[in-house]
Amino acid sequence: MKKNTASLVWDLAKPIADSLGLILWDVKFLKEGNRWYLRITVDKEGGVGIDDCVDMHHAIDGPLDELDPIDQSYNLQVQSPGIERELTRDFHFENYLGEKVWVRLIQSFEGSRDYKGILTAYDDDSVTISLDEETEMNIKKKEASWIKADDFGGFEEK
């Protein structure tokens, strides 16, 4: 099976991030408007700063040119996951079990697209959040626009 661009770059970026004391959070290759972006998202205990992003950018630039996995022109961006980090990978969900999350559905369910609760379970296809003491909601990942963590304490019940 041929790997997609993001997977190829993940395999290249992971050991580089590790060597810099960073956690590779995500890699996305996407088009916005008429431009392509390769976004490498890194994190570390206590949070990343601009210097960490610059270090990662410099460290991966040469190996990325050598691998040359992208045919078209693109912008390389190295960034922090931010305070409302999107959860996409198994280790994200594992790290946020028991924590507050916010889910935005693609289509409205019972009059709302946004649900906030405590992440209580996940698997390859779905997540379960506890909306309150009596109500749990199981959501198919493919039905969510995104699932984000609430790291900054601004969590409000819906």
Four-residue CA torsion sign, 15, 21, 27, 33: negative
Q: What is the pLDDT along the chain (158 residues), one digit of tens a residue?
A: 557 899 999 999 999 999 999 999 999 999 999 999 999 999 999 889 999 999 999 999 999 999 888 888 999 999 999 887 899 999 999 999 999 999 999 999 988 999 999 999 999 999 999 998 899 999 999 999 999 997 665 545 44
Beta strands in the chain (DSSP E): 23-32, 35-43, 75-79, 100-109, 112-122, 126-130, 136-140, 144-149
